[in-house]
Structure 1
């Protein structure tokens, strides 16, 4: 085998190995990004539930405050 063919074979083997490694690295990054997306979705859902809970709490407090205000106005009118 000539020197040139050995060089070509070596370069081809290195390029092939490099391509395989690059594909594996890319797949790992894609999997990590997908997993991060799932984690972000879970966090988003928990924030949404917390916001809904806070909104319900605010609605309840507003109703209580309005009822208290109405009672005070009725007492004032009766006096």
Structure 2
């Protein structure tokens, strides 16, 4: 009869420790997943930034080409009028 409360106490301690360990594992797993998603978002942002820079450089080159063609046409038009 006196061993029964001790056994219950041991079982409660083991169950509590196991539950705490499982809880810590779940929190750790959730943290790792959140960090992983953050890394993926950062990689996507970097990729998008590179793509935006590429598009901007392309737009700058096209604008320069258009201005050169416009200037050439204006010079030809001016020389035809003289």
Whether the TM-score (by the shorter chain) exceeds 0.5 is yes
Partner of 2:32: 31
Shift of 1:2: 5.0
Equivalent-residue separation in structure 2 for 1:70 and 1:38 (angstroms):
48
| C-alpha distance after superposition, 1:19-62 (max 9, x if no partner) | 10000111111111111111111111111111111011000000
Equivalent-residue separation in structure 2 for 1:10 and 1:53 (angstroms):
64
RMSD, aligned CA? 1.5
Equivalent-residue separation in structure 1 for 2:12 and 2:35 (angstroms):
34
Partner of 1:75: 76
Give matches, 1:14-29, under 5 Å.
14-29=15-30
Counterpart of 1:52 in 2: which secondary structure? helix
Equivalent-residue separation in structure 1 for 2:55 and 2:69 (angstroms):
21
TM-score, scaled relative to structure 2 = 0.82
Unaligned runs of 5+ in 2: none
Equivalent-residue separation in structure 2 for 1:17 and 1:59 (angstroms):
63
Partner of 1:7: 8
